[in-house]
């Protein structure tokens, strides 16, 4: 069983589909690697990557994320301590301590890697806000998607949004393009943005606190 066995649609839209139960959870369940470019990261969203997915934990998937450089205060303080010291005693409201422990172990064991993308051109206004994702399973099948910036998976705070989905067995060229786009980001080979390792960005004061997402 793998990604190819999921009855995937070409598009999911929140007025008619449940993006979490119909798309994210099945893909997370079968993947062994997950790459994600996203506007912002929160501890709550990171812990929810494995929410209710025992097989996801057992598979020890590798997660690579590229995100913008703005963080809520408590998220940034927590992540800096974990990435630099392996753990943090800070409590995150609304997040189970066991999930936080798993997140810390994933970071410590190099299963979760995080990089920061910062625009370096006058042609780019604002911050990094690309939203793409790539799942890969043990059969080397790949599912890519574009669209959502929301991964808190909070049933009480749903966005109205849609995602477009591409598979390596039905749309090989599109998937290869998305995979290449992410790899170029990860290797800092993308024009108009500079990509840094999270620890380097933290030590060099490249990360910013932002109140913009306090209600998200």
Task: Write phi, then psi, for 8 (nearest 5 degrees).
Answer: -85, 145
**Distance, CA of 30 to CA of 19 (rounded, Å):** 16
Inform me whether the pLDDT recorded for 176 exceeds 90.
yes
**Distance, CA of 124 to CA of 158 (rounded, Å):** 28
At residue 144 the predicted structure's pLDDT band, cuts being 50, 70 and 90, is very high
pTM score, two decimals?
0.88
Fold of 13-209: Endonuclease; Chain A (3.30.870)
pLDDT, average across residues 181-200: 95
Q: Which two tokens stand for residue 162?
A: 């849609």
State residue 14's pLDDT score.
Answer: 85
Inform me whether the pLDDT recorded for 48 exceeds 50.
yes
Task: Specify whether the CB–CB gap between 166 and 145 falls below 8 A.
Answer: yes
The distance between the two most distant Cα atoms of the chain, rounded to a whole number of Å, is: 47
pLDDT, average across residues 125-154: 83
pLDDT, average across residues 187-194: 93
At residue 50 the predicted structure's pLDDT band, cuts being 50, 70 and 90, is low
pLDDT, average across residues 50-73: 75
State residue 156's pLDDT score.
Answer: 54
pLDDT, average across residues 51-71: 75
Helix (H) / strand (E) element for 35: namely: strand 31-38
DSSP string, 140-202: --EEEEE--------TTS----EEEEEETTT-HHHHHHHHHHHHHHHTT--TTEEEEEHHHHH
State residue 214's pLDDT score.
Answer: 44
| Cβ partners under 8 Å of residue 12, min gap 6 | 19, 22, 23, 162, 163, 165
């Amino acid at each position: 069983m793998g990604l190819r066995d999921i009855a995937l649609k070409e598009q999911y839209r929140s007025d008619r589909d449940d993006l979490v139960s119909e798309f994210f959870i099945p893909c997370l369940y079968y993947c062994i690697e997950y790459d994600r470019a996203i506007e912002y990261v929160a501890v709550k969203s990171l812990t929810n990557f494995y929410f209710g997915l025992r097989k996801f934990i057992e598979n020890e998937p590798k997660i690579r994320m590229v995100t913008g450089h703005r963080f809520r205060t408590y998220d940034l303080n927590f992540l800096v301590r974990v990435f630099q010291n392996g753990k943090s005693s800070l409590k995150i409201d609304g997040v189970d301590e066991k999930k936080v422990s798993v997140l810390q172990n994933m970071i410590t064991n190099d299963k979760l890697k995080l990089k920061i993308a910062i625009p370096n051109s006058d042609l780019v206004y604002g911050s990094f806000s690309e939203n793409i994702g790539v799942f890969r399973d043990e059969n080397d099948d790949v599912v890519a998607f574009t669209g959502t910036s929301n991964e808190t998976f909070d049933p009480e705070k749903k966005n109205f949004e849609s995602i477009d989905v591409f598979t390596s067995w039905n749309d090989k060229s599109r998937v290869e393009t998305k995979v290449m786009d992410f790899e170029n980001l990860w290797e800092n080979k993308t024009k108009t943005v500079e990509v840094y390792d999270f620890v380097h960005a933290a030590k060099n004061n490249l990360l910013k606190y932002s109140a913009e997402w306090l209600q998200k």
